[in-house]
Amino acid sequence: MKSLFLIFIILAIVADAIGQDQNPLALTEDARYFDFWEGKWIGLHDNNTLDSTVSFEVVRSVNPASFEEKWQLGNSRSAAIRAWDKSNSKWGFVWISDNGLFQIWDTRKVDGHWYIYKQFNVNGDVYLSRQGFLLQPDGTVVRVSEKSYDEKKWEVRFSQRLKKVALPK
């Protein structure tokens, strides 16, 4: 978590350099979009059994619209900060991985849901990637990853369901 805090401080310094206000955070509907996200989430197999190789541990950070996330996807570990940016009225997202990746993703609201967006060039295959963490009526979350070459047609790369579980005491 010290690494996440350092990233947050660096981003805060950069943000401060472009001008900020001292007004309190107003929790708009969009700023509350991820209120469901705090907790421990485990992946679900197609047969609804838990997949312990996939987990997200999410805690609130320095304000009610900010989260620190620890991801475990198979043998890969990563961490992220997700926070509402009141100056731009959108979510911010920064992600780091155990194999040395550092990514700052843009965010957009599409059909009532907030997605993270980033362009990639994988061996000459240049595409826009987006991911959404979509709360379902049954309380699960669908993490969907899609890619597009024209931002009109989106191809699903993968989709996984997550279930919130009780944290050990």
Q: Report the alpha-carbon distance of residue 34 to residue 84 in Å, rounded.
A: 9
Q: Dihedral of CA 120/144/112/65: which sign?
A: negative
Q: Provide the residue range defining the domain that includes 43.
A: 2-17+28-165
- Domain annotation covers residue 13: yes
- Domain annotation covers residue 22: no
pLDDT tens digit sequence for 111-162:
999 999 999 999 999 999 999 999 999 999 999 999 999 999 999 999 999 9
The domain that holds 53 is classified in CATH as 2.40.128
**Domain total of the chain:** 1
Q: Residue 34 CB: number of other CB atoms within 10 A?
A: 20
- Domain annotation covers residue 23: no
Residue 168 has pLDDT above 80, yes or no: no
pLDDT tens digit sequence for 85-115:
999 999 999 999 999 999 999 999 999 999 9
- Domain annotation covers residue 69: yes
Q: Report the alpha-carbon distance of residue 81 to residue 68 in Å, rounded.
A: 5
In the block, tokens 């197999």 appear at 45
pLDDT tens digit sequence for 11-30:
666 555 555 788 889 999 99
Burial (0-12, 13-18, 19+ Cβ within 10 Å), 24: exposed
